[in-house]
Amino acid sequence: MKLQGKKIAVVGGGPGGLTLAKLLQLKGANVTVYERDINKEVRQQGATLDLHEESGLEALRRANLMNEFKASFRPDAGRLRVLDDQAIIKMDDHEIQHDYQEDRPEIDRAPLRDILINSLHEDTIIWDSQFISMEKQENGWLLHFKNGKSFYADIVVAADGGNSKIRSHITDIKPIYSGVTIVEGNIYNAEKNAPKLWEITKGGKVFALGNEQSIILSTKGEGSLSFYTGCKVSENWVQESGIDFNNKEQVFDWFKVAFSSWSDQWQELFASNEIWCMPRPQYHFPLDQTWTTLPNLTMLGDAAHRMPPYAGEGVNQAMQDAFELAENLTSDNFPDIQTAISDYEKQMQARAAAVTKDTLVNTEILHTESGLDKLLTMFNKGI
């Protein structure tokens, strides 16, 4: 095997990086994951994840983790309600009784991460390792971390997210602003702290559209409610707004003005003090992005192809990247590692371009005046 005697560093312990590490270990590779979180107990924010047959679920099958997934996924968590800005229900999956098919099963981020972490060899993950920089050394790379430690690797895979610091070593292609900024949040103990919204979601998801804006809600198994508010604002709105997003009252004041045409019921998003939120301008990379393959450095997931969340593809694309890269690196079909990486990157770039294109269409639809009607038409057609 071409990886014999090679040290592989995966920078980033999200689903993509962890999946890659698991698949490489199954083939006997020496892989270490460097993760910025202090430990595995750090709270996982964000919405539930719907895993797709050809990508996320396929990755778990290849990793021999489907039994663990079936024990942890949340049946019916994908049931969706579509509402207007006055909280009037326009479509309701919960009304479907016998023929409801959940072809994209949902799992919370924390259980999925735990499944992947627990499947790895002991000490595979080096926690509290926030990447700072890297430099070429011998035939590989010397990685430097905020904790003051440095490690050598023969091969490095950047799995460090949309704001990847490693990506610039591979390409200087910059992301493009989508025109939409999300305020992402989590309401903890939501049944108590946001009872009306908790009841509306009914253990599943809510898409609410109006006035070229969106609110997406997802219930989580531990009782929290995650949300995304989507607005068309300028690229530098987060800085120009003057809002301290660590100050819940300032965020609440913004929301009451920005969403003033929406029913007061939505104000429960920011009514409690048991809340976490963060602004996230939504970017994507050019559909035609390519770069020259390096002999010992590549990337996967958001580092390679970040995109808005409006197609549910982020985690799925990352996990598909992981199994395609692992397959190439451990295959005898390529004469060397660089050729294996090149083949992976070409396939990944083409696949990600198609998915990004679809995602941008969805992003536009959800934030137009006729977005609600268009969304209902899409769902009625089974898209």
Residue 383: predicted pLDDT: 47
pLDDT digits (tens, 9 = 90+) for 213-264: 999 999 999 999 999 999 999 999 999 999 999 999 999 999 999 999 999 9
Residue 101: predicted pLDDT: 54
- Say how many domains are in the chain: 2
CA distances from 223 to 9, 69, 204, 220 (A): 35, 20, 12, 6
Q: What is the CATH number of the domain that holds 248?
A: 3.30.9.30
* pTM attached to this predicted model: 0.95
Look at residues 284, 303, 322 and tell me which one is the last residue of a structural domain. Answer: 284
**Is position 90 within any domain?**
no
Percent of the chain with pLDDT over 90: 90
* pLDDT tier, 42 (very low <50, low <70, confident <90, very high otherwise): confident
Tell me how far apart the alpha carbons of residues 250 and 263 are, in angstroms, rounded to a whole number: 20
**Is position 184 within any domain?**
yes
Residue 295 has pLDDT above 60, yes or no: yes
pLDDT digits (tens, 9 = 90+) for 88-99: 999 999 887 545
Q: What is the CATH number of the domain that holds 137?
A: 3.50.50.60
How deeply is 181 buried, as exposed, middle or buried, from its count of CB atoms within 10 A (0-12, 13-18, 19+)? Answer: buried
Q: Across all residues in the chain, what is the average pLDDT?
A: 94
Residue 237: predicted pLDDT: 98
Among candidates 283, 267, 269, which has minimal Cα distance to 218? 269
List the domain range (segments joined by +) for residue 248: 176-284
